[in-house]
Amino acid sequence: MAQWESIDHDGLFKELIETFFWEFLNLFLLQVFDYVERGPVTFLFQEVYSSIGAEERRIIDLLGAGSLALTISPLLNVKSCWI
């Protein structure tokens, strides 16, 4: 077996995103970066979701939970978000 076959590229990529999360958002998702509070982010692994009305289930490899930096509406006070 070649050395490159045993490298866990997926795991390394996830570790990079976790370590440099804010830098990643700032470079690739600038519109999202502007609306998310800088602070602790909780990462969840292997989350399962399905679309409404769809029978297909999908798995999200890495999901971050953070806080919004704004109030969407005075009547709708939402402060948490999934990234």
The per-residue pLDDT for 70 is 62
Task: Tell me the C-alpha distance between 37 and 39, whole Å.
Answer: 6
Question: Residue 57 contacts by C-beta under 8 Å, 6 or more apart in sequence?
Answer: 48, 49, 50
pLDDT digit string, tens, across residues 53-78: 767 777 777 878 777 766 555 555 55
The per-residue pLDDT for 50 is 67
Q: Write down the pTM of the prediction.
A: 0.62
Looking at the structure of the chain, the number of domains it has is 1
Question: Domain of 72?
Answer: 3-82
pLDDT digit string, tens, across residues 2-53: 666 788 888 888 889 889 988 988 998 888 888 788 888 888 877 676 667 7
